[in-house]
Structure formats: C-alpha cells, structure tokens
Amino acid sequence: MSTRAKYEFTLNQLLYKMHFFIKTYRENERKNNISEELESEFYRVNEMWHVDVAKAIEARRSSSKKEVKESTMVSLLQDVIANMDEFIQKYGVASESKELAKTKRADHPEDFVLLDEYHSYEQDYYLI
C-alpha cells in the first residue's frame, strides 16, 4: 500500500473511531454512568488527539519530502486511534455495540464539534 493510501485509510479510520469514542461517552452519560475516571480519561484522550493532529500538521509543514510528511502523519494518527480504541474497549456499553456498528452519525449534533475541528485541521493540511 502506498504511503498516500495508508494516509487516506488512516484518516478514514480516525473519523470512524471518533464517532465511537464520542458515542461511548454519550451512552455512559445517558445511563448516568460517568465516573471521575471515565470523564478524565475522555478529556485526556480528546486533548491527546488535538495535540497529535497539531504535531502531524507541523510535521507536514516542516518536511520537504511528501512521503516523509504522510508517513509521520500516519504514525501520529495511529497513536490517536489506539488511544480511542483503548477508551472504547474500557468504557464501551457492551449491549450497544451492534447498534453502534450500524450507526452512521451520532445522535447529537454537538458530537460533531470535534469533527468540525478535525476538518479545519484537514483543511490546513491541504492548504500546505
């Protein structure tokens, strides 16, 4: 698989995981199952993905070779995905997992605030 294809695949995977990451938090919130640990972990992972995406964009800007830029971004985004996976595994609502797999969009429009921020990062990436 080319570096470009890996990059595009990783971006799609990130968007997919973000949906489940946010949905996991919302389901726990709906069921009044928000512990201090869950909430702090949610915000920790959320902040990490912002930092890693910012690092990925900076790597994109600073490198002169396109392949290096994309492989660095893939590596950083895979770290974000792994953190989201860990959160989903730990706090996911098991009975909801099949329903979540079928869901194309989150139930709450506010869930997409993070996605909007991601798209602004992505727009910066393509402007470079």
- 30: CB partners within 8 A, 6+ apart: none
| 94 vs 112, higher pLDDT | 94
Across the range 61-80, mean pLDDT stands at: 75
If one counts the domains in the chain, the total is 1
- Return the pLDDT at 103: 47
Residues 6+ apart with CB under 8 A from 3: 67, 70, 71, 74
Per-residue pLDDT tens digits for 81-111: 888 888 988 888 654 454 544 444 444 444 4
pLDDT band at residue 41 under the 50/70/90 scheme: very high
% of the chain residues with pLDDT over 70: 65
Q: For residue 77, what are the CA distances in angstroms to 84, 101, 103? A: 11, 21, 23
Determine the pLDDT at residue 36.
92
Per the structure, the complete domain to which residue 57 belongs is given by 3-127
Q: How large is the average pLDDT for residues 7-21? A: 82
Model confidence at 34: pLDDT above 80: yes
